[in-house]
Amino acid sequence: MNRSTLRPWLPLVALLATVTACSGVPAPGPTASPATTGSGTPGPTSSGAAPSARPMLSGPPIGSVAPIDDASRALVTRLRSGAYTQDTTTAAMEALARAGVGTFAGPSASDPVMPLTGVTSPMRVLDWQAHALAVQTWAGSAVSGRELDDAMALPAEMQAGRPLASQLLAAYVATADSPAGAISRALMAGQDLLDTSNLRFPSLVMVFFLSDLATDGGKRAPAGAALTAMAVPPAVRTAALGSICSEAANWVTGMIDSLFQAVKLATPDNLPGAILVSIWNWLVDKAEAFVNRLIGALTDFVLAQVRLIAGAISALVQRVASFLPYGVEVRTEPRQIFVLPPSGPSPGGVLIATVSAGDLPDWPDVLKDCAGVAKVPLPDFRPAGVPVVWGKPYGGGTQFVVPGIGSPATDPNGEARWEFATLPDGAPGGDPVDGVMQQDVKIRRPEVSEARAALTSGLLGGLPPLISDLVGQLLAPFMDAVFTRLDSLVEATGSGAAVIVYHTPSEASPSPPTPAPSRGPRDVCSLLTDAEVTAVIGVPIARHESQGNLTQGSCIKGTERVAFGGSMEGISFASFSVTRGATLADLGLADSDLDWHPVSGLGDEAVFIPSVGTVFGVTDGVLFTIQVVRGGGTHNGGSYGTEAEVVGLARLLISRL
């Protein structure tokens, strides 16, 4: 028997999933201790993390129809470049001010810290909330469209033909002809607005959406009462928890009440505002790009759903700005751009995630006060060895990326690493294509979640009745479920990126050999039937996830997709892939401690790894892999496929290549 460990770039998507399912959560890394104001917002002293190495995209998002002005680009550059400094916070406040959103030094402050431009929005933030939004934007933290849609889902019969949250936000970014819309496009530069599930929405973009919805893109001042009624409605007034905490809680509740009054006026059933009409026209025009076709008119029900999405987004923004003062910054080393050769050794890299609160030394004073009154201990602001959850790479060029197994927790320096290798593109003299591979990482701290749950009712307890009133009787019954699901999104996330430059065969270059059409299917998922996979994993197939083709591609068949970072318990699937031109030697099956042994009768050579239920093999110049997982694998009380089961599927697979 040979004993070998797979190197970090072992190409096992499913193995990566089973490892991440067992991980948990880190928190802010060490920073210098600046002076702070009474609310906990950093004062003039600042430091920050090491400069980040990540691609900076400047082009407008794909599908946008409104421009990005130079001032918006300059603000976003200040927000995202280099180390976190006081100017990063200032840039966030200036961006908010351009959108008419005031930043206030405290609940009793009468004037915003920065003078506002244009129409004053009912959307407002306190200075410690603005700092949290700045840190998250600088670090690249965002919420994916898929996560938003899952959290705000309606029953299928009510959702059909109506916009998802990600589609509504994407349409806003594409069309909003306002200062806030321009900054939103700069923040989401390079993303594909038609691929709404994979979009990453920074919290600032959601703030801008709410503000523009209430002011019709900064063109219409809300009714006077909506701007001045900061008193809290008696039905939702927060009990006195403590001097700082109760003032902040009542301020937030009063602001939300003003915002919602403005949103209701801006989304009437008889004459919606111009910005909502432009959003809807874009959605209808792009409907064929989405899974569900949209109804053609703004009906009363659609407007009610828009208000539901706005209410849920406002609740999410308040939770993120209030309870998440740190973000996950991800840098790429040793370079940002990886140019693939036609053959031979190909470059590899590493994404390094660091949890940072920018220049904030400790929990904001408001949270400390709320925790003290509620007798809830706040966890350590900067613990070491916190678990990390890595996602699955996506975006351009991923067909040439061989993912590794990321660090399950932060090291003593507060960092976690995810290594990857690349494959040659096999296109000598071909035309270059720039793909942007992205990889998400999430920090989960159970002790922070427990403290947040205890503090939410005290600081944000007035929101549920206000949101139910905004939504109306038709959809109000669904708000409790939405609120419960929103909690899963209030976690520190980051996204790393690498530019993968690969080549497509040009007319002057020879095309790589491909299988004759008569020899089999072009979709990797078609290499194994649902019935064949079901016979092994023991459950019906509800998930078909295919990428690439028979030159370089993969497929997962099994139970429904688990949400990013969610539990793998009960999840069963078969994952298989093919890579033309690769060998077992490319995997590094040597010099390690993981048990494996050769398998005969599978092409030119093959090995089986019992501990992960996986076969790797090569046949006729094609590297193939297949893994079987039942019930989430052994880490989640399940199991992996036996040698006979996995080898049996592998024989069927290679017979169809």
**DSSP sequence for 71-99:** HHHHHHHHHHSSS--HHHHHHHHHHHHHT
Query: Do both 292 and 414 map to the same domain?
Result: no
Q: Encode 262-276: b = buried (16+ Cβ within 10 Å), e = exposed.
A: bbbbbbeeeebbebb
| Residue 31 located in a structural domain | no
Cα(248)–Cα(324) distance, rounded to whole angstroms? Answer: 16
Query: Do both 385 and 507 map to the same domain?
Result: yes
Nearest to 550 by CA among 652, 617, 608, 621: 621
pLDDT of residue 43: 33
pLDDT of residue 238: 43
* pTM higher than the cut 0.85: no
Which residue has better confidence, 292 or 162?
162
Per-residue pLDDT at 24 exceeds 90: no
Cα(125)–Cα(93) distance, rounded to whole angstroms? Answer: 10
Segment 143-162, tens digit of pLDDT: 888 888 888 776 665 555 56
State the chain's maximal CA–CA distance in angstroms. 79
pLDDT of residue 183: 96
Give the β-pairing of 415-422 and 543-548: unpaired
Question: Is there a contact between 193 and 62 (Cβ–Cβ < 8 Å)?
Answer: yes
| Residue 637 located in a structural domain | yes
Query: Do both 423 and 340 map to the same domain?
Result: yes
| Residue 22 located in a structural domain | no
Q: Residue 497 belongs to a domain with what CATH number?
A: 2.60.40
Cα(639)–Cα(43) distance, rounded to whole angstroms? Answer: 53
pLDDT of residue 458: 60
504 membership: H or E segment, kind and range: strand 492-504
What's the pLDDT band for 23 if we cut at 50, 70, 90?
very low
Percent of the chain with pLDDT over 90: 21
Cα(23)–Cα(444) distance, rounded to whole angstroms? Answer: 8
pLDDT of residue 236: 38
Q: Which sign does the torsion angle of CA 21, 24, 25, 26 carry?
A: negative
Per-residue pLDDT at 416 exceeds 50: yes
Which of 21-30, 138-147, 171-180 has the largest mean confidence? 171-180
Which residue has better confidence, 320 or 646?
646
pLDDT of residue 553: 81
Q: For the chain, how many residues are written?
A: 657
Question: Region 392-396: what's the mean pLDDT?
Answer: 84
Asked which of 482, 512, 542 is the last residue of a domain, the reply is 512
Query: Do both 400 and 285 map to the same domain?
Result: no
Query: Do both 502 and 453 map to the same domain?
Result: no
| Residue 633 located in a structural domain | yes
Cα(28)–Cα(113) distance, rounded to whole angstroms? Answer: 27
Token pair of 644 as six digits: 């006979």
Phi-psi region of 397 (alpha: psi -120 to 50; beta: other; left: phi over 0): left
Token pair of 528 as six digits: 């194994």
Per-residue pLDDT at 366 exceeds 90: no
| CB-count exposure of residue 317 (10 Å: 0-12, 13-18, 19+) | buried
The angle, 0 to 180 degrees and rounded to 10, between the axes of the packed helices 86-98 and 127-139 is 110
pLDDT of residue 507: 54
| Residue 91 located in a structural domain | no
Which of 279-293, 370-384, 405-419 has the largest mean confidence? 405-419
Per-residue pLDDT at 10 exceeds 50: no
Percent of the chain with pLDDT over 70: 70
253 membership: H or E segment, kind and range: helix 243-266
Note down the domain range covering 557.
519-654
| Residue 589 located in a structural domain | yes
Over the chain, what is the mean pLDDT? Answer: 75
**Upstream peptide bond of 540 is cis (omega within 30 degrees of 0):** no
- 3-state secondary structure at position 468: helix
pLDDT of residue 264: 63
Segment 600-650, tens digit of pLDDT: 888 899 999 888 888 989 998 888 989 999 887 776 678 889 999 999 999
605 membership: H or E segment, kind and range: strand 605-609
Query: Do both 265 and 363 map to the same domain?
Result: no
Cα(227)–Cα(259) distance, rounded to whole angstroms? Answer: 8
Query: Do both 500 and 477 map to the same domain?
Result: no
pLDDT of residue 134: 95
pLDDT of residue 130: 94
Query: Do both 478 and 535 map to the same domain?
Result: no
pLDDT of residue 564: 46
Question: Region 550-562: what's the mean pLDDT?
Answer: 80
What's the pLDDT band for 483 if we cut at 50, 70, 90?
low
pLDDT of residue 181: 94
What's the pLDDT band for 278 if we cut at 50, 70, 90?
confident
Q: Encode 79-90: b = buried (16+ Cβ within 10 Å), e = exposed.
A: bbeebbbbebbb
Segment 215-225, tens digit of pLDDT: 888 777 765 43
Query: Do both 499 and 350 map to the same domain?
Result: yes
Nearest to 324 by CA among 143, 183, 461, 99: 143
Task: Find the range with the poorest average confidence among 306-310, 424-428, 468-472, 594-598.
Answer: 468-472
pLDDT of residue 162: 66
Query: Do both 158 and 234 map to the same domain?
Result: yes
Segment 493-524, tens digit of pLDDT: 888 889 999 988 765 444 444 443 333 446 78
Task: Find the range with the poorest average confidence among 49-53, 55-59, 394-398, 533-537.
Answer: 49-53
Per-residue pLDDT at 202 exceeds 70: yes
pLDDT of residue 115: 93
Query: Do both 314 and 460 map to the same domain?
Result: yes
| Residue 387 located in a structural domain | yes
The total of structural domains in the chain comes to 3
Which residue has better confidence, 238 or 102?
102
How distant, in Å, are the alpha carbons of 28, 109, 119, 326, 391 from that of 136?
Answer: 12, 25, 26, 6, 19
pLDDT of residue 560: 77
Per-residue pLDDT at 71 exceeds 70: yes
| Residue 12 located in a structural domain | no
Query: Do both 410 and 477 map to the same domain?
Result: no
Segment 242-274, tens digit of pLDDT: 457 778 777 777 777 777 677 766 555 444 567
